Amino acid sequence: MKKGLISFGAALILVFGMSVTAFAASFSFSFTPPFAGSMQSTFLQEVTSINSAYVNPSHSATPTNYFLSPNQKSSTTATNILTDISTSGKRTFTYNSGYGGIGNKYCLSGYPSNWDFVDYTVSGSWSP
């Protein structure tokens, strides 16, 4: 009986762990001057897990700002703005008051940190 419960618990952990990573979405933003109008957004994705909002650029790039929004290409911020991200690695978001919650949908938005920039592309993964 005890061995069966341990096996069942291990199976749940594996299934839960796999389901969390399955909901990560990819992004690829190509920025072209001028700064005005350069914001890029992904499609809306549904929140499936609390406290799991992140962006993970896969490579170094020109400094870029990221945030989650309930609307594409909108300045409405549902989270803090992660500023001057120029290296790869996972960064987490914190939802602003009144936002977040399982079942809500958000998009990842990004824009260059500097007004003066040359064409560049940044890609990676994210989750709301």
Whole-model pTM?
A: 0.82
> What pLDDT sits at residue 61?
86
Report the C-alpha gap between 101 and 117 in whole angstroms.
36
Q: Give yes or no for residue 7 having a pLDDT over 50.
A: no
Q: Which residue has the tokens 């978001």?
A: 93
pLDDT tens, residue by residue, 35-89: 999 999 999 999 999 889 999 999 998 999 999 999 999 999 999 999 999 999 9
Report the C-alpha gap between 128 and 41 in whole angstroms.
13
Report the C-alpha gap between 90 and 82 in whole angstroms.
11
What mean pLDDT is predicted for residues 4-8? 44
Where do the domains of the chain lie? 25-127
Report the C-alpha gap between 17 and 19 in whole angstroms.
6
pLDDT band at 19 (very low <50, low <70, confident <90, very high): very low
Report the C-alpha gap between 80 and 104 in whole angstroms.
17
Amino acid in position 64: T
